Amino acid sequence: MSVIINIKDLSKSYQVHQKEPGFIGSIQGLFNRRYKTITAVDNISLSIQTGELVGFIGPNGAGKTTTLKMLSGLLYPTSGTATVMDYTPWQRKRDFLKNFSLVMGQKAQLWWDLPLYDSLLLQRDIYEIDKSVFRSSLQELTELLDLDKFLKVQVRKLSLGQRMRGELAAALVYHPQVLLLDEPTIGLDIVVQKKVRKFIKQYQQKYNATIILTSHYLDDVRELARRLVIIDHGRIAYDGSTENLIKQHVDHRRIVLTFFQPVAKTALLPYGQIIKYQPLHTILHVPRNQTTKRAAQLLTKFPVEDISIDEPSLENVVRELFTNQNYA
């Protein structure tokens, strides 16, 4: 596979006016304005292969959206370089614009007062899509996203879930090679979230699209992305697989035990940290390199009806990485 997105030493800083409170502060600000430099993205380097689906996650204010805006050409960087499909994004060349799409869960690209179908027609004209190709693409998107019931409904009257599916249809009706998804499931209920995730996966597999996905719902990332990039304070804190993230940052596993006879809590203490205890059901934290040995000992010495060994959830691994909280 070839590299389709290449970022090298990319940074973005802002000058923010610092105003003292009150009327006097406002007067002083007229004559002696003070500014503070905010670094949103701090010297990051990253390459993404054609056809990859990468989860791009981090806490609020980490620099995720700023990075995507630079990759889409909406923002100029303070320093560094980036290429997407061999184009420099902020030059906004015609062929680049026709082959990428940015979907922001909190920003609408649909025309508020028009039916959804009319917004899609406008996309057809803007991106100069052949009419037969448009019909075929629209039919496919209508089936995958279940748009048929509200294609002719005014966008302002759509539910949030319907509008988000419409946003995805508008972003994909011209089959972009690169798709930047910024919180595509924000505010959606669980059922709609699952539909959107299923659609993204199907689209990526069918068209070998390259996708960067940001989300506060780690279910989105866990189900869709094999590769995770974690950004914090504008810098990349991790780049690799979910499995490796857990191995690097969590040194334990959970052993979940169900007994067919009550077991005393004191009898279990030598085998791990007790996270939850009931006489017939217990959860232990066990050192990762001791998991197999401890599980075998428990099976031998206690009336075990059922046993399972669980990895920590991705949510807790990321929380631990950013806040130094212990997994629970």
Alpha carbon distance 121, 318 (integer Å): 42
In a domain, 33, yes or no: no
* Residue-level pLDDT at 210: 94
Tokens of 240: 């690799």
Question: Is the distance from CB of 251 to CB of 80 less than 8 angstroms?
Answer: no
The pLDDT assigned to 244 comes to 83
What integer best gives the mean pLDDT of the chain?
Answer: 86
Checking if the pLDDT of 278 tops 60, the result is yes
* Residue 18 is assigned to a structural domain of this protein: no
User: What mean pLDDT do residues 269-275 have?
Assistant: 91
> What pLDDT is recorded for position 29?
67
Tokens of 259: 């007994």
Looking at the domain assignment, is residue 288 inside a domain? yes
Last residue of a domain, one of 190, 217, 246: 246
Answer yes or no: is 325 within a domain. no
Higher pLDDT, 315 or 276: 276
Q: Which of 246, 267, 286 represents a domain boundary (last residue)?
A: 246
Q: Is the pLDDT of residue 328 over 70?
A: no
54 and 151 housed in the same domain: yes
Q: Is the pLDDT of residue 327 over 60?
A: no
Average pLDDT over residues 6-19: 86
Which residue carries 């996650």 as its tokens?
A: 57
Task: Determine the average pLDDT of the residues in 33-39.
Answer: 81
Query: Do 89 and 9 form a contact (C-beta atoms < 8 A)?
Result: no
Q: Does 280 lie in the same domain as 150?
A: no
Q: What does the pLDDT look like over 42-79, one tens digit per residue?
A: 999 999 999 999 999 888 888 999 999 999 999 999 99
Instruction: Characterise 219 by phi-psi region: left (phi > 0), alpha (psi -120 to 50), beta (else).
Output: alpha
Number of domains within the chain:
2
pLDDT at 61: 83
Whether the predicted pLDDT of 325 surpasses 60:
no
State both tokens at 178. 């690169």
Checking if the pLDDT of 281 tops 80, the result is yes
Confidence of residue 326 (pLDDT cuts 50, 70, 90): very low
Q: How many CA atoms lie within 13 A of 222 on its CB side?
A: 15
pLDDT at position 258 over 90: yes
Residues 302 and 264 grouped into a single domain = yes
Which is more confidently placed, 196 or 96?
Answer: 96
CA distance 178 to 59: 24
- Cα torsion 194, 217, 73, 232 to 10°: value is -160
Say yes or no to pLDDT of 113 above 50.
Answer: yes
Most confident range (mean pLDDT) of 31-40, 69-78, 200-209 is 69-78
Q: Across residues 28-39, what is the average pLDDT? A: 76
3-state secondary structure the chain: CCEEEEEEEEEEEEEEEECCCHHHHHHHHHHCCEEEEEEEEEEEEEEEECCCEEEEECCCCCCHHHHHHHHHCCCCCCEEEEEECCECHHHCCHHHHCCEEEEECCCCCCCCCCEHHHHHHHHHHHCCCCHHHHHHHHHHHHHHHCCHHHCCCEHHHCCHHHHHHHHHHHHHCCCCCEEEEECCCCCCCHHHHHHHHHHHHHHHHHHCCEEEEECCCHHHHHHHCCEEEEEECCEEEEEEEHHHHHHHHCCEEEEEEEECCCCCHHHHHHHCEEEEEECCEEEEEEEHHHHHHHHHHHHHHCCEEEEEEECCCHHHHHHHHHHCCCCC
> Which of 23-37, 240-254, 275-289 is modeled with the greatest confidence?
275-289
| pLDDT, position 146 | 84
> Could you give the percent of the chain with pLDDT greater than 90?
42
pLDDT higher than threshold 70 for residue 104: yes
CA distance 111 to 197: 24
Range(s) of the domain holding residue 72: 3-11+43-246
Question: Do residues 156 and 47 both lie within one domain?
Answer: yes
Enter the pTM of the model. 0.77
